[in-house]
Structure 1
Amino acid sequence: MRHSFTADTAQRFATIALGHVKREYPNKPANVFSGPDDARTPSDLHPIFHGSLDWHSCVHGYWMMAHILRKFPEIPAAKNIRALFDEMLAPEKVAGECAYQAKPTSRGFERPYGWGWLLKLSAELSLLDDRRWSGNLKPLSDVFVQRFADFLPIATYPIRVGTHFNTAFAMRLAADYADTLNDTALGTLLKNTAMRWYGKDEDCPAWGEPSGDDFLSSALTEAECMRRLMPDEDFRPWFDRFLPEIMAQRPATLFSPASVSDRSDGKIAHLDGLNLSRAWCWRSLAKALPGSDPRRSIMERAAEEHLASALPHVEGDYMGEHWLASFATLALEA
């Protein structure tokens, strides 16, 4: 049975996020201290995104709630989401987040994972009927657009790992911002960089997948990035070369959900996210192929198997609960 994103699921996921985006502790900071004055509490450093264990998880918790508010504006949690956004996505709090980013030591803060998620959040907010929150966040969005503009031209090589440093994932999220906000300069930069980094890749072995703390598939995330940034007529021949043995379900590792041995271990719990992000990629990639393509059913079945493995574990232990619902939303909405 195909998994879908229903109002009941949205209510459940929103309730999870509302319970952690303002939960300041435990907290895993990503700050560079330049002196004793930088020893401040998370909420003092980050007036908005101080919950959810870490900055980036808090950002994509907000993204998920914005998406839920757009898709299911009448569910019970919608009222609480609006109240949260009124309180937290306020100009003075955005100014505080911008002040942190203005410090010289913040140049590499959350690069590139948090950058992509912040722009993904901004794009989602811009699609809501109430445009105040999108307008309020714009100064911070502008900071991260500039971060991409400064970084991508000097990044000689992509980063292909299955964790936060993966460049394809960040560019895939940023592409949604570029299209939604009609930022042609950013969109062109993303497309040119993707072609420079990944355009000649072929016969991907997916070696090393999964490693012990992956939450992204290096192979499938790259393919999804290229699907998003290339025209269909160019993407399909590239995809044929990149993963040429899908009919034989090779590389085999991409078709088998990862096993998660201990969900109280934050790194091992990443593997539930790997299963969800693979499902997101397989679903998106399958839809890019013609309906008559026999690979579609194989890819869709792989997606459903990965979803079935991970969805029961979106909540239960805080090491996964503070972020997994966002990845489940990506997969269910692909």
Structure 2
Amino acid sequence: MIPLTPETAAAFARLTLGHIGRQYPYKLDHVMLEDKDAVLPRVLHPIFHGSFDWHSCVHGWWQLLTVARLHPDTYEAGLIRARADEMLVPEKVAGELAYLARPLSAGFERPYGWAWLLALHQEAARHPSGWGDALAPLASAFATRFGTYLSKLTYPLRVGAHGNSAFALIHASRWAREYDRALLDLIRDKAIGWYSGDRAAQAWEPAGDDFLSGTLCEALLMSELLEPGAFRAWFDAFLPDVAHGEPATLFTPAFVHDRTDPKIAHLDGLNLSRAWCWRTLAGRLGPDHPASARALEAADFHFVTAMPHISGDYAGEHWLATFALLALTA
């Protein structure tokens, strides 16, 4: 398996330090009711106003803090800690909370940004710095939103982009296991209700701008929520021919025609997120499972296909390193 070396971690950090404070271009998720709602991103979002959009800035911070924890002695880790001491503070978090309190912000960043904020809080709390305490009210606010949302969500979203339910619930369940057992129970109940009966997935993917595999994210979520034996039994029914390289679409990296097109560039992210899923699933299935070796091969193949393209154009550069880090820390 490909390792996360100090050199690779430092390179990821340099990329992300270059854009978490870059204010433009920026894509707002912002509903306006009147003229006074036309406000600059850095005013609306005191912390997460870089990296092209709110959620990319959030997971950029997750990536930076993860690098700083795993490789604390690198030069870049010192830069990360200094920047975090400046930005991840209660008064700036209060500004982010004020935005959530707007009546028109109920659906803001649902569910992708919510999930990444919980992942960021969980990572920040691993550092003896106060960053986790500062972010805790924001995490609590999004956990409450998850509870409300899941209680009324009848069907899962199986799409290959930001709306995907399984991807969001992977991160939310990891956070909830540590901080909110009632939310974890709700996530487990919803996921089992939605996915437990799925059989013989055809994996008709990717669509033209996917960055997530709906099939593999579903499998990864179930591996988080089921006991190991129950998960293996479910997986064998869900993807019965994986050991034989089928469905072939899951083993074939996506081709990216134009990396300057932000939507088409999503496909590099699909390759990286598949690498993350395959690598994690191999570990959950165990070395004796007939699909494990094939899964690890697929993970490495997808990763090496995408890795040369995580920088070079801002369409991908503002977010792809995060998904590369997910894969390497699976």
TM-score (norm 1): 0.97
Task: Give the CA deviation at 1:277.
Answer: 0.3
Matched, 1:259 2:259: no
Alignment-derived partner of residue 111 in structure 1: 110
Aligned pairs for 1:74-85 (under 5 A) are 74-85=73-84
Shift of 1:47: 0.5
Counterpart position of 2:146: 148
Give deviations 1:307-334, integer Å, cap 9, x for gaps.
0100111111100000000000000111
Q: Which amino acid aligns with 2:155?
A: Y
1:187 Cα deviation from its structure 2 partner? 1.1
**Residue type matched to 1:251 in 2?**
P
Q: Deviations over 1:170-190 (max 9, x none)?
A: 000111211233x21111111
Within 2, Cα distance between the matches of 1:159 and 1:14? Answer: 32
CA contact (8 A) 2:25 2:52 kept: yes
Give me the whole-angstrom Cα distance separating, in 2, the residues matched to 1:242 and 1:296: 15
2:277 counterpart residue number: 281
Number of aligned positions between the proteins: 330
2 CA distance for matches of 1:136 and 1:294? 45
Q: Matched residues, percent identical?
A: 52
Q: Aligned-pair distance for 1:198?
A: 0.9
Give the conservation status (yes or no) of the 8 Å contact 2:201–2:239: yes
Q: For the residues of structure 2 that align with 1:19 and 1:100, how far apart are their CA atoms?
A: 25
Equivalence map 1:215-234=2 (5 Å): 215-234=211-230
What is the CA RMSD across the aligned residues, in angstroms? Answer: 0.8
1:25 is aligned to 2:24: yes
**In the alignment, is residue 67 of structure 1 matched against residue 66 of structure 2?**
yes
Residue type of the alignment partner of 1:36:
D
Q: In 2, Cα distance between the equivalents of 1:143 and 1:318?
A: 31
Distance 2:128 2:187 in 1: 28
Q: Displacement of 1:292 after TM fit?
A: 1.9
What amino acid maps onto 2:290 in structure 1? P
- What's 1:305 paired with? 301
Residue type of the partner of 1:199?
Answer: S
Post-superposition Cα deviations, 1:166-224, rounded to whole Å, max 9, x if no partner, equal 0100000111211233x2111111111111111111111112x0111000000001100
* Structure 2 equivalent of residue 168 of structure 1: 166
Deviations 1:276-303 (A, max 9, x none): 0000000011111232222111111011
Secondary structure of 1:264's counterpart equals: coil
Measure, in 1, the Cα distance between the counterparts of 2:225 and 2:237.
17
Deviations 1:117-168 (A, max 9, x none): 00000001111132x0100111111110001010001000000000000010
One-letter amino acid of the structure 1 residue matched with residue 174 of structure 2: D
Contact 2:287 2:293 in 1 (8 A): no
* Whole-angstrom distance in 1 between the partners of 2:98 and 2:53: 18
Instruction: Give, in whole Å, the separation in 2 of the partners of 1:116 and 1:173.
Output: 5
Counterpart code for 2:258? D
Shift of residue 256, structure 1, vs aligned partner: 0.3
TM-score, with length taken from structure 2: 0.99
Which residue of 2 is the match for residue 196 of structure 1?
A: 193
SS state at 2:4 partner: coil
Unaligned ranges ≥5, structure 1: none
Structure 2 unaligned segments of length 5 or more: list them.
Answer: none
Q: Which residue does 2:182 correspond to in 1? A: 185
Amino acid at match of 1:322: H
The SS at the match of 2:285 is coil
- Asked if 1:205 corresponds to 2:193, the answer is no
Q: Which amino acid aligns with 1:103?
A: R
- Give the secondary structure class of the aligned counterpart of 1:288: helix
Assess if the C-alpha contact under 8 Å between 2:20 and 2:48 holds in 1: yes
1:139 aligns with 2:152: no
1:47 aligns with 2:46: yes
